Amino acid sequence: MKKRMLWILLLLPAALAAYYFYPSAPLPQGSVVDRLVVQKSKRKMEAYANGRLLKTYTIALGKNPEGHKQFEGDNRTPEGSYTINARNPNSGYHKNLGVSYPNESDLAHAQKLGRPAGGEIKIHGLRNGSAGYINKFHHFKDWTAGCIAVTNQEIDELYVAVKLDAIIEILP
């Protein structure tokens, strides 16, 4: 048993280094993503074109990821069907794609709670100035205020490929 643990301890740094430096396969050239499906519990986001799965991304979510976003400041990522409604090349997080949260139902629910619904839910890269060593390791912990985070390289390809008004389904 001690030999096995020793091998694990010796191989772990090499496995982490390989994970960090090994690039994921890019989206096919010229892809137009018309649908994104986020599976919060699996920390995965799938990109589709005409019903065909093109790529799966590993993501980080809001710091309080379980359940639907209730109000501004709850650090939850919303659940439901929304659209991609904006592109921002100059955000505080490398680049971002806007998610159409809140919808009428979200606004009504937050109003019942006497709280603002919040907004500014995005799919984004890493905070500007912090991406250096973090890269893929960012998704080992949920860290956003409710957004969906990917690496800078991944947001670069999504930024180009995801069409405005693409559907984004965010599942528990």
**pLDDT at position 131 over 70:** no
pLDDT score, position 4: 56
Q: Is residue 87 part of a domain?
A: yes
Q: How many domains does the chain have?
A: 1
Q: How confident is the model at residue 168 (pLDDT cuts 50, 70, 90)?
A: very high
Residue 107 has pLDDT above 70, yes or no: yes
pTM recorded for the entire structure: 0.84
**Residue 49 sits in a domain of what CATH number?**
2.40.440.10
List the catalytic residues: 124, 147
Q: Looking at the predicted structure, is the pLDDT value of residue 34 above 60? A: yes
Asked if the structure places residue 23 within a domain, the reply is no
Say if 10 falls within a structural domain. Answer: no
* Structural domain range at position 56: 33-171
Phi-psi region of 35 (alpha: psi -120 to 50; beta: other; left: phi over 0): beta
- What pLDDT shows up at residue 119? 86
Residue 17 lies in a domain: no
Give me the pLDDT at residue 16, please: 46
The answer to the question of residue 6 being in a domain is no
Q: What is the pLDDT of residue 154?
A: 94
State percent of the chain over pLDDT 90: 66
Instruction: Give the pLDDT of residue 166.
Output: 98
Examine residue 165 and state whether it is found in any structural domain, yes or no.
yes
Residue 61: pLDDT over 60? yes
Question: Residue 25: inside a domain, yes or no?
Answer: no
The answer to whether residue 4 sits within a structural domain is: no
Residue with the bigger pLDDT between 139 and 142: it is 142
Q: Is the pLDDT of residue 3 over 50?
A: yes
- Beta pairing class for 44-49 and 52-58: antiparallel
| Cβ(97)–Cβ(85) below 8 Å | no
